Amino acid sequence: MNHLLGVKELSAQKIRAILKEAFYFKNLVQKKDPSLQTLLANHVVANVFFEPSTRTRVSFEIAAKKLGASVINVLQESSSIVKGETIFDTLLNLEAMGVDLFIMRHSEAGMPHYLSRYLKTPIINAGDGAHEHPTQALLDLMTIVEYHKNLKGLKVVILGDILHSRVARSNIFCLTKLGVKITLCSLPTLIPKGFSDLDLSISYDLKSAIADADVIMVLRLQKERHEQNDIPSMKEYVKYFQLNETLSFPKKALIMHPGPVNRNVEMSDKLYNHSQSVVLSQVRNGLPMRMALISIFLRNEFLAR
């Protein structure tokens, strides 16, 4: 692997190997293994974020620091769009200064793909537009397998603003490769054109979609969607698509959310704190998953046997 641009490029075998590596790191962290702190000493990881993000960036930062790497943050989260040419120059300079790994986020789909053609330093995509967010999908997978050992035939419902969601796309790529049955549930204006041709189901009815779900993945609904006429109002969206305690779903179903959650919009507060909610497990698993990925790129090897 030269870069991690998306899950689309990963084989099922590669995904399983990454997963194994992440559990290996999770185990070491739990054991407080002292070797972790020096594993990546003398390496420099750069977080280059051109879009506001706290959780993902901090998660990467802690992951790198736990492995002894130095972390620098290059944050240009201004409202003005930073164009590809300028970023290219910035990254070339950082590369010349000895950065060993870029963690990159940008609002434009395809930005890390463009840069990867010219940089020798590996890039981990931490989200590009509505395209991919591979580390989120991988940590979601890690969370799912902690509860459901057998992925084949598992029914995962992805609920909400699929059109604008990179998390949804990466999860679709990831889970499809592992034999999971996916149902996209949303209103017609928030389902991307042409997704009906994919190997998945589409439902416009929340009740029936979640009735036999093993996993319900709720996506964040941004407030701008109302201004863009994708939905008439939040109130109306909440009435038809909010996941809440009045709905019935299987007792074993996991409730997931990539965060940050809009409380009482896409999901009710009660469900967020529900016994079946694994939202904080997702956040916890983000750490070993990102440690594993940083280690894979900087050491160029898998440690798990």
Partner 1 sequence: MKTLIKNIHILNPHQKPFLGSLLIENDKIKKIFKGDSRRSLYSAKAGYWNGKDFDKVIEGKGLHCFPGFIDLHCHLREPGFEDCETIESGSRAAAAGGFTTICCMPNTNPVNDHPQVTRLLQQKIKNSSVIKVFPIGAISEGLEGKRLAQIGLCVDEGIIAISDDGKCISSTSFMAKALAYSRQFDIPVVVHAEDPSLVYEYGIHTGRRASLLGLKGSPALAEEVIVARDIVLAERLKARLHIAHVTSWQSVEYIKHAKERGVKVTAEVCPHHLLLTEKATEDFNTLAKVAPPLRSEKHRAALRHALKTDVIDCIATDHAPWSEKYKDLPFVEAACGIAGFETAFSLSYELVQEGVLSLPKLISKLTVEPAKIFGLPKPEIKENSAADLVLVNLEQKYKIDTKNFLSKSKNTPFEGKSVKGKVKYTFCNGQLVYSDQ
Q: Where are the alpha helices (DSSP H) in 182-278?
A: 206-210, 224-227, 234-241, 269-272
Q: What is the DSSP string of 151-210?
A: -TT-EEEEES--TT-HHHHHHHHHHHHTT-EEEEES-GGGS-TTGGGSSSEEES-HHHHH
Does residue 48 bind partner 1 (CB under 8 A)?
no
Q: How far apart are CA 275 and CA 273, in angstroms?
A: 7
Looking at the Cβ atoms of 130 and 154, the one nearer to partner 1 is 130
For partner 1, the binding residue among 34, 120, 153, 197 (CB under 8 A) is 197
Distance CA 197, CA 218 (A): 22
163 is an interface residue for partner 1 by CB under 8 A: yes
Cis check: omega of the bond before 260, within 30 degrees of 0: yes
Tell whether residue 89 is a contact of partner 1 (CB under 8 A): no
Under 8 Å between Cβ of 266 and 160: yes
- Closest separation between CB of residue 275 and partner 1, Å? 34
The one segment of 28-36, 70-78, 186-194, 238-246 that binds partner 1 by CB under 8 A: 186-194
Where does this chain touch partner 1 (CB under 8 A) — which range of 30-38, 162-170, 218-226, 255-263? Answer: 162-170
* 253 near partner 1 (CB under 8 A): no
Distance CA 122, CA 3 (A): 5
Nearer to partner 1, 114 or 204 (CB): 114
Among 23, 114, 204, 302, binds partner 1 (CB under 8 A): 114
- Establish if 227 lies at the interface with partner 1 (CB under 8 A): no
The residue among 60 and 173 lying less far from partner 1, judged by its C-beta, is 173
Candidate segments 18-26, 139-147, 190-198, 201-209, binder of partner 1 by CB under 8 A: 190-198
Q: Does 28 bind partner 1 (CB under 8 A)?
A: no
- Alpha helices, H only, the chain: 12-30, 36-39, 55-66, 84-96, 111-116, 134-147, 166-177, 206-210, 224-227, 234-241, 269-272, 279-299
Q: What are phi and psi of 198, to 5 degrees?
A: -80, 170
Instruction: Decide: is 137 part of the binding site for partner 1 (CB under 8 A).
Output: no
Residue 219 binds partner 1, judged by CB under 8 A: no
Query: Binding to partner 1 by residue 225, rule CB under 8 A?
Result: no
Contact flag: residue 188 with partner 1 (CB under 8 A): no
* Buried b / exposed e along 263-300 (16+ C-beta atoms within 10 A): eebbbbeebbebeebbbebbbbbbbbbbbbbbbbbbee
Stretch binding partner 1 (CB under 8 A), from 97-105, 111-119, 237-245, 271-279: 111-119
Binding site for partner 1 (CB under 8 A): 8, 83-85, 108-111, 113-115, 128-132, 163, 166, 169, 192-195, 197-198
